[in-house]
Structure 1
């Protein structure tokens, strides 16, 4: 297991490095001058030149990148152009909000999607199966921002007062109200992914249930409940875990539109606001943080493979993987 962990961590370094190069380059090539936005269109040339010097925008792009990368290695993401606050502190302030939203959405995906997929597989080609499959397809086909707008319409216009549809209550102030304020955004994030997980769980379950060892277990008189929950579901969860790992990263990065619709001051909204005013340090800082979380979650998924399927763990231990 240690060999597998070290291998995954080492392979993550060039991935993050490549992401940083692409993100930094594209951000610098985007139209807009942060120095001009900072001092105003009517500012004298001297003020504009001083602002560009303070922001290190006069340096060549490669020098700007290596300066930023050196600061990043030391744990310094820079200082915001707009409010002069440390980027790490700004991200830390917004992270709990987005994390709460992502955790709630992930819980909904697992708690609803996996059981629906199992039920659909166990009732294959029945009316129940058809209903779940059609509902899953409908969920996948509708983007999360459409679900978000529809929820705002329901609870903001048709049934006002039942659920909060705008703003956020900090978890430390009122736990219940905080959970209520993120319930609708979390559902908007989770709805399309629930359908995907349900369909994937169904197909994976049906594939595993057709294996010879399942038929042999039934022939030996093993109880059906044991076959389903101990053998079949455990092996069927491997591709589902892969998708859940990918979805976890998208829940952090994909919350941009949902947080904007519901007025949630999380990382997604911070990314939009910082890019709008060309606040390069915050924009690249949030992008790299989301990328790092995405890579880390996929490493955890690979390690869970070894926990669920011992053959993978034994393969790494023997040097065959």
Structure 2
């Protein structure tokens, strides 16, 4: 397991390096002048030149990147152009809202998607299976934006007062109010992923249920509940865990629309706001944080493979992939 962890961590370094080069270059090539937006349209040329020099925007892109990379290695993401605060502090301020939203959405995906997939597999080609498959397909096909707007319409116009649909309350201030304001955006964020997990769990379960050892266990009189939940589901979880890992990264970095619709001050909204005002340090800082979180989650998923299926752990310990 240690060898697997070290291997995955080492392989993540070039991935993050390439991601940083691409993100930094594309951001610098995007239209817009941070100095002009900071000083105003009426600023004289000498003032703009001084601001560009302070922001190091007058240097070649490769020099700007090397300077930024050197600061990053020391744990410094830079300083925001707008409020002059450290980027790490700006991200830390917005991070709790995004994490809370992502965790609740992930719980919805697991608690709803996996049991629906299992039920669909156990009732294959029956009415229950058909209903779950149609519902899953509908969930996958509907974008987060449509689900979010529909929830706002329901709870903000048709049935107001049941659940709040705007704003965010930290858990440290009021646990109940915080969770109440998290349900709707979490549902909007999780809805398409629930359908994907349900369909993947169904196909994986059907494949495992067709193996000989399942038929042998049934012939030996092992209870169906034990076969399904202890043996079959555990072997069927590998592809599901992979998708859940990818979805977790998406939940952290892809909640821009949901956070905007529900007025949640999270990382997704921060990314859009900082890009609109060309606050390069904040934008690249958020992008790299999300990339690092995505890579870390995938490493955890690889390690979970060894927990779910010991053959992977033992095979890697013996020098086999």
**TM-score, structure 2 length as denominator?**
0.99
Match of 2:291 in 1: 291
Contiguous gaps of at least 5 residues in structure 1:
none
1:61-100 matches, within 5 Å, as 61-100=61-100
Residue 246 (str. 1) matches residue 246 (str. 2): yes
Match of 2:5 in 1: 5
Match of 2:236 in 1: 236
CA distance in structure 2 between the aligned counterparts of 1:149 and 1:247, rounded to whole angstroms: 21
Match of 1:51 in 2: 51
Match of 1:144 in 2: 144
SS in 2 for 1:245: helix
How far is 1:184 from its partner?
Answer: 0.5
Which ranges of 4 or more aligned residues in structure 1 deviate by more than 2 Å? none
How far is 1:140 from its partner?
Answer: 0.3
Q: Kindly tell me the number of residue pairs found equivalent between the two proteins.
A: 321
CA distance in structure 2 between the aligned counterparts of 1:76 and 1:22, rounded to whole angstroms: 19
Post-superposition Cα deviations, 1:193-234, rounded to whole Å, max 9, x if no partner, equal 000000000000000000111111112222211111111000
How far is 1:170 from its partner?
Answer: 1.6
Match of 2:127 in 1: 127
Match of 2:42 in 1: 42
Match of 1:205 in 2: 205
Match of 2:25 in 1: 25
Post-superposition Cα deviations, 1:245-273, rounded to whole Å, max 9, x if no partner, equal 00000001111110001110000000000
CA distance in structure 1 between the aligned counterparts of 2:214 and 2:29, rounded to whole angstroms: 56
CA distance in structure 2 between the aligned counterparts of 1:16 and 1:92, rounded to whole angstroms: 20
**TM-score, structure 1 length as denominator?**
0.99
Contiguous gaps of at least 5 residues in structure 2:
none
CA distance in structure 1 between the aligned counterparts of 2:266 and 2:182, rounded to whole angstroms: 11
SS in 2 for 1:139: helix
CA distance in structure 1 between the aligned counterparts of 2:152 and 2:54, rounded to whole angstroms: 43
Match of 1:112 in 2: 112
CA distance in structure 1 between the aligned counterparts of 2:175 and 2:21, rounded to whole angstroms: 40
SS in 2 for 1:249: helix
Post-superposition Cα deviations, 1:44-95, rounded to whole Å, max 9, x if no partner, equal 0011001101100011100000000000000000000000000000000100
Query: RMSD of the alignment, in Å?
Result: 0.6
Match of 1:174 in 2: 174
CA distance in structure 1 between the aligned counterparts of 2:11 and 2:20, rounded to whole angstroms: 15
How far is 1:156 from its partner?
Answer: 1.1
How far is 1:179 from its partner?
Answer: 0.6
CA distance in structure 2 between the aligned counterparts of 1:312 and 1:170, rounded to whole angstroms: 40
CA distance in structure 1 between the aligned counterparts of 2:79 and 2:280, rounded to whole angstroms: 9
Post-superposition Cα deviations, 1:248-299, rounded to whole Å, max 9, x if no partner, equal 0000111111000111000000000000000000000000000000000000
Match of 1:315 in 2: 315
SS in 1 for 2:113: helix
How far is 1:238 from its partner?
Answer: 0.4
CA distance in structure 2 between the aligned counterparts of 1:282 and 1:180, rounded to whole angstroms: 30
